[in-house]
Amino acid sequence: MNQLPSQSEAARGAFSSFEACRNTQKGPVVILASGASAKDFPLEDFASVPIIAMNGSISMLVGTDVRPFFYICTDKDFCNQQPELFATALHSSPRLALWPEQFDLFDLPEDTERYPLLKALDPTFSEWLGRGDGRYARNRTLWSKRARSIGFSRNLSYGFFDARTVAFVALQLAYHLGFDDVLLVGVDLNQSAGRFYETNGGKRSPCGLDQHWESRILPSLTLMAHQVVGERFRVHNLSTRSRIPPALIPRIDLQQARTLAARATAAA
């Protein structure tokens, strides 16, 4: 397997290249979200599988020997809402995907790879007509500005599409890196159930899952399922409590996930 480029010899504060890490990986990856079902995931059984952590899901790795392969956060206020968890992510993750201006605000380990996030640009007319260069999968509806903003980026060098849930950005990152099989853990998208790391009386971050489910989240996942998922990129949902319809992203159990991970390890 190819290795992601190291920044240890680069100047402190320099950005890493999304283009340089594109299609450098293969096999399975865990996308670790913060839904309540994540508490049931046996992390130690998947220690050999790379993990993309996001927002507060990093708390699941505290006290373990597991480090995230990548940490991604698109919520600019998360560092203020959950400063301890954010600090943990910054100092335990070898690769960070954050907004460019955030890298100057925090003291990071010198060898941290810093990948700057940016949103995808509005589609050109040729992209609307389906003559793009393949960097994006897009909704081609011309008469609705909201519908036109639904998409999936195959190349994060050109930005990501925001579905109002960081899990969708993590899916784009997994595709960009070249992973074949994505194991969704804790992607419940159930606002009423809360996040596994939040407790009564503790700090809680705002949640807009219900507000954006019909307008952004479900249409984005539907587009991904129809235009992106296939032999090159497979997505599996380990959450039995997930709001995502199994017709879009099939559910598998832990034994099936272990078998998938073991098969990938044997083939490596």
Identify the sign of the CA torsion 98, 250, 25, 61: positive
Per-domain boundaries in the chain: 27-267
Read off the tokens for 67: 């480090």
Tell me what pLDDT residue 268 has. 63
Q: How many Å apart are CA 143 and CA 246, to the nearest integer?
A: 30
Q: How many Å apart are CA 69 and CA 99, to the nearest integer?
A: 18
Read off the tokens for 190: 């159930």
- For residue 113, report the phi and psi dihedrals to the nearest 5 degrees: -85, 125
Q: How many Å apart are CA 156 and CA 87, to the nearest integer?
A: 24
Side-chain half-sphere of 66: how many Cα atoms within 13 Å? Answer: 25
* Domain 27-267 CATH (choose: 3.40.50, 1.10.10, 3.30.750, 3.90.1480): 3.90.1480
- For residue 43, report the phi and psi dihedrals to the nearest 5 degrees: -55, -40
Measured CA to CA in angstroms, residue 225 lies from 36, 63, 154 at distances of 24, 35, 14
* Each residue's pLDDT expressed in tens, for the chain with a length of 268 residues: 444 444 333 334 589 999 999 999 999 999 999 999 999 999 999 999 999 999 999 999 999 999 999 999 999 999 999 999 999 999 999 999 999 999 999 999 999 999 999 999 876 656 555 555 678 887 765 555 566 689 999 999 999 999 999 999 999 999 999 999 999 999 999 877 778 777 666 666 666 677 888 999 999 999 999 999 999 999 999 999 999 999 999 999 999 999 999 877 766 6
